[in-house]
């Protein structure tokens, strides 16, 4: 029996990151989407008049803080959905499965390779957004952004949402036979926790500390066991012998 | 014969109602180049995938490199073998070195750089090591894939149609590499459609079509399946071939192999011993005043053996 190998997991991470770097489409997608989700809310906040009412100000801040939350959902959904079925389509999965790598090692490596850049970009966007609003707006607006209750909550939810999306995407990618179907299903499957976060962000559901903590705890628990569940869904035989599109 | 590196016993694999591999048993000795032949859909690739621990057999057992083919030992087996699938399966956006380094890490190999260097040298790709795999020709990709299979210094190497789609020169290079592997004591399990390749490279071949049709050395198979014969060519058709070939020592029968008419005529004589039959046939032809163009022992190829066995299978299937 072979134990879990950090070398093999690291090898997968390095390979995945190298492939991302060389794929112009991924670079463009990973750059443009976050830029849109940075520029739009930043402009929105910068154009708020200092005389705006507190209610109007809070509403704009809510929306501005919500949009960057799409980054840890959209990017990982696309990348993770491609991850297994894409390799299968280009014929690179079978040689990998002939090596001693375990299902869990392969999936952990793939998940980590998506998780790291996704949350790095998401935090970068939040950081730049907060920095610009602090430097470029009236003190009332800057204070409203900095003290918005959504800010710390969303910082916690970024990695949790990203992890959820990645595991769901990998699970779908390991079961379907077409990349496009995988990406569509993955985007759909990432919506439920995202929608709940949105409802709290817009205070349709009152975001009490208890509710936010319960949701975060639930997502964390799901993320932790998801790797094992997805590894069980990863059926070598089905992936090798199943129908090709 | 060296001890067996692969022992397969009653291996069966069913996909739904279809039996892809049906009760197949054989052994492959250490250092042997073993050819696995059969038409499309005969179960060759399925057998390789079972022995490579990629898919589980429905029934049957096997021992690979001394390790039983069981799920608990799958990773141990994969550490000692390597498989080159029909498609090279290289990452097109990575260089040859990056591809090899990835797999060297997956195998957890010590001294990765040296292993990679040796593998690249073995396939003659050192000067293309830093090229993107997507920029290589099909032949070079096949070589890069072969280098990948050499990395872990495998005890058994499974090569699935390694020369598929290659031009003759590139195929020749792969043949030389396989011959080199035999010299290094690596057991090579080669599936191929190319019968000339099997005949040239393989110590033994198995011909299968879901079930194992036959197994043996190519020359043994020819002798098993076909009686020995002499091919006779004369400048013109013999007037009375019955009289010419009747009663000659070691000659059991004859048949014309060319249509009657003007020009050279051919005859095939079934013989028990060509060395004894040939002088007697020559004397008889000269006595009949025939102008003899050639007399030679007919040489059956592995292709004849293959076609005979596959035709038998098809006929059997058609009857059932």
**DSSP for A92-144, written as a single string:** -HHHHHTSS--HHHHHHHHHHHHHHHHHHHHHHHHHHHHHHHHHHS-HHHHHH
Strands (E), chain A: none
- Check residues A154 and B124 and name the one with the higher pLDDT: B124
Confidence of residue A66 (pLDDT cuts 50, 70, 90): confident
Pick A7's closest partner by Cβ from B82, B103, B108: B108
* Residue in chain A lying closest to B87 (CA): A91
- Check residues B20 and B168 and name the one with the higher pLDDT: B20
Closest of A84, A83, A82 to residue A242, by C-alpha: A84
Question: Mean pLDDT over residues B30-35, rounded?
Answer: 94
* Residue in chain A lying closest to B84 (CA): A95
Question: Mean pLDDT over residues B55-66, rounded?
Answer: 95
pLDDT at B26: 95
Question: Mean pLDDT over residues B185-203, rounded?
Answer: 88
pLDDT > 70: percent of chain B: 94
Question: Mean pLDDT over residues B217-242, rounded?
Answer: 83
For the record, the structure tokens of A201 come out as 């962000």
Closest of B150, B131, B152, B151 to residue B141, by C-alpha: B131
Contacts of B51 in chain A (CB under 8 A): none
- Check residues B259 and A91 and name the one with the higher pLDDT: A91
Would the pLDDT of A100 be above 90? yes
Question: Which residues lie closer than 8 Å to B123 by C-beta, 6 or more apart?
Answer: B143, B144, B146, B147, B150, B177
pLDDT at B318: 52
Confidence of residue B169 (pLDDT cuts 50, 70, 90): confident
Contact status, residue A182 vs residue A165, Cβ threshold 8 Å = no
Confidence of residue B293 (pLDDT cuts 50, 70, 90): very high
Helix axes A6-22, B96-106, angle to 10 degrees: 160
Residues in chain A whose beta carbon is closer than 8 A to a beta carbon of chain B? 1-2, 5, 7-8, 10-12, 14-15, 18-19, 22-23, 90-102, 236-237, 240-241
pLDDT > 90: percent of chain B: 56
Question: Mean pLDDT over residues B140-152, rounded?
Answer: 93
Question: Is B317's Cβ below 8 Å from some Cβ in A?
Answer: no
Pick B82's closest partner by Cβ from A7, A19, A98: A98
Would the pLDDT of B162 be above 60? yes
pLDDT at B72: 92
Whether residue B103 and residue A23 make contact (CB cut-off 8 A), yes or no, is: no
Question: Which residues numbered 269-288 in B keep a CB inside 8 Å of some CB on A?
Answer: none
- Give pLDDT tens digits for A213-233: 888 888 888 888 888 888 888
Would the pLDDT of A86 be above 70? yes
Torsion-angle region of B165 (φ positive above 0: left; ψ -120 to 50: alpha; else: beta): left
Max CA separation in chain A (angstroms)? 69
Question: Which residues numbered 67-126 in B keep a CB inside 8 Å of some CB on A?
Answer: 72, 75-76, 78-79, 81-85, 87-94, 98, 102-103, 105-108
According to DSSP, the β-strands at B59-64 and B67-68 are antiparallel
Confidence of residue A6 (pLDDT cuts 50, 70, 90): very high
For the record, the structure tokens of A72 come out as 């840890």
Contact status, residue B237 vs residue B227, Cβ threshold 8 Å = no
Confidence of residue A53 (pLDDT cuts 50, 70, 90): confident
Whether residue A11 and residue B145 make contact (CB cut-off 8 A), yes or no, is: no
Question: Mean pLDDT over residues B14-28, rounded?
Answer: 93
Contacts of A102 in chain B (CB under 8 A): 75
Lowest mean pLDDT among A123-137, B32-46, B303-317: B303-317
User: What is the Cα B65 distance to its own chain's centre?
Assistant: 21
pLDDT at B52: 94
Confidence of residue B180 (pLDDT cuts 50, 70, 90): confident
3-state helix, strand, coil in chain B (%, to 5): 40, 30, 30
- As a whole number of angstroms, the distance between CA B83 and CA B37 comes to 17
- Give pLDDT tens digits for B120-141: 998 889 999 999 999 999 889 9
Pick B102's closest partner by Cβ from A5, A15, A236: A15
pLDDT at A192: 79
Average pLDDT, chain B: 88
Per-residue CA distances from B319 to B312, B313, B316 (Å): 11, 10, 5
Question: Mean pLDDT over residues A189-199, rounded?
Answer: 76
Question: Mean pLDDT over residues B216-227, rounded?
Answer: 74
With tokens 């293309």, the residue in question is B128
CB pairs under 8 A between A and B: 88
Whether residue B52 and residue A236 make contact (CB cut-off 8 A), yes or no, is: no
Question: Mean pLDDT over residues A149-169, rounded?
Answer: 86
According to DSSP, the β-strands at B18-29 and B4-15 are antiparallel
User: Chain B closest CA to A17's CA: distance in Å?
Assistant: 11
Question: Mean pLDDT over residues B276-302, rounded?
Answer: 88
For the record, the structure tokens of A87 come out as 């390799």
pTM beyond 0.90, yes or no: no
For the record, the structure tokens of B62 come out as 């096997």
Altogether, the residues listed in chain B come to a count of 320
For the record, the structure tokens of B130 come out as 């830093």
ipTM: 0.86
Lowest mean pLDDT among A136-140, B45-49, B91-95, B262-266: A136-140
SS3 B208: strand
C-alpha dihedral (B311, B221, B192, A243), degrees to nearest 10: 50
Would the pLDDT of B13 be above 70? yes
Contact status, residue B298 vs residue B268, Cβ threshold 8 Å = yes
pLDDT at B302: 72
Bridge partners, B59 (sequence order) = B12
Confidence of residue B224 (pLDDT cuts 50, 70, 90): low
* Residue in chain B lying closest to A103 (CA): B75
Contacts of B52 in chain A (CB under 8 A): 98
Question: Mean pLDDT over residues A186-208, rounded?
Answer: 74
- As a whole number of angstroms, the distance between CA A70 and CA B306 comes to 61
């Amino acid at each position: 029996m072979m134990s879990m190998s950090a070398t093999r997991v690291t090898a997968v991470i390095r390979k995945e990151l190298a492939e991302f770097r060389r794929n112009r489409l991924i670079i463009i997608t990973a750059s443009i989407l976050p830029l849109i989700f940075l520029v739009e809310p930043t402009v929105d906040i910068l154009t708020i008049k200092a005389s705006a009412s507190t209610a109007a100000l809070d509403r704009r801040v809510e929306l501005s803080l919500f949009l960057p939350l799409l980054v840890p959902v959209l990017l990982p959904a696309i990348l993770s959905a491609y991850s297994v079925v894409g390799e299968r389509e280009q014929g690179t999965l079978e040689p990998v499965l002939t090596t001693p790598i375990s299902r869990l090692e392969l999936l952990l490596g793939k998940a980590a390779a998506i998780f790291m850049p996704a949350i790095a970009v998401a935090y970068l966007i939040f950081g730049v957004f907060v920095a610009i609003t602090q430097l470029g707006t009236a003190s009332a607006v800057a204070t409203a952004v900095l003290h918005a209750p959504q800010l710390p909550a969303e910082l916690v939810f970024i990695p949790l949402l990203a992890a959820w999306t990645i595991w769901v995407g990998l699970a779908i990618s390991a079961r379907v036979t077409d990349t496009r179907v995988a990406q569509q299903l993955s985007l759909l499957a990432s919506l439920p926790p995202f929608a709940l976060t949105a409802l709290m962000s817009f205070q349709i559901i009152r975001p009490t500390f208890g509710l936010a903590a319960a949701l975060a705890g639930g997502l964390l628990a799901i993320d932790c066991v998801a790797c094992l569940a997805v590894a069980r869904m990863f059926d070598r035989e089905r992936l090798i012998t199943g129908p090709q599109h | 014969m060296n001890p067996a590196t692969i022992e397969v016993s009653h291996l069966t694999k069913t996909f739904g109602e279809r039996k892809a591999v049906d009760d197949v048993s054989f052994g492959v000795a250490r250092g042997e180049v073993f050819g696995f032949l059969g038409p499309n859909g005969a179960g060759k690739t399925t057998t390789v995938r079972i022995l490579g621990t990629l898919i589980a057999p429905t029934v049957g057992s096997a021992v690979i490199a001394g390790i039983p083919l069981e799920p608990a030992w799958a990773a141990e087996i994969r550490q000692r073998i390597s498989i080159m699938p029909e498609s090279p399966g290289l990452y097109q956006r990575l260089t040859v070195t990056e591809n090899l380094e990835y797999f060297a890490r997956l195998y957890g190999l010590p001294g990765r750089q040296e292993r990679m260097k040796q593998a690249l040298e073995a396939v003659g790709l050192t000067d293309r090591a830093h090229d993107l795999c997507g920029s290589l020709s099909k032949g070079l990709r096949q070589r890069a894939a072969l280098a990948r299979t050499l990395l872990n210094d495998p005890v058994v190497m499974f090569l699935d149609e390694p020369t598929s789609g290659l031009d003759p020169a590139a195929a020749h290079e792969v043949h030389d590499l396989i011959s080199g592997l035999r010299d290094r004591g690596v057991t090579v399990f080669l599936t191929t459609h190319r019968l000339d390749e099997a005949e040239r490279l393989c110590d033994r071949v198995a011909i299968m079509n879901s079930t194992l049709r036959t197994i043996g050395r190519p020359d043994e198979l020819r002798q098993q399946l076909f009686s020995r014969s002499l091919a006779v060519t004369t400048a013109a058709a013999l007037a009375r071939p019955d009289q010419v070939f009747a009663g000659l020592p070691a000659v059991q029968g004859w048949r014309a192999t060319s249509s009657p008419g003007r020009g050279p005529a051919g005859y095939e004589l079934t013989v028990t011993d060509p060395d004894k039959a040939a002088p007697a046939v020559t004397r008889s032809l000269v006595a009949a005043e025939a102008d003899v163009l050639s007399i030679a022992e007919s040489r059956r190829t592995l292709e004849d053996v293959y076609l005979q066995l596959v035709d038998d299978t098809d006929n059997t299937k058609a009857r059932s």
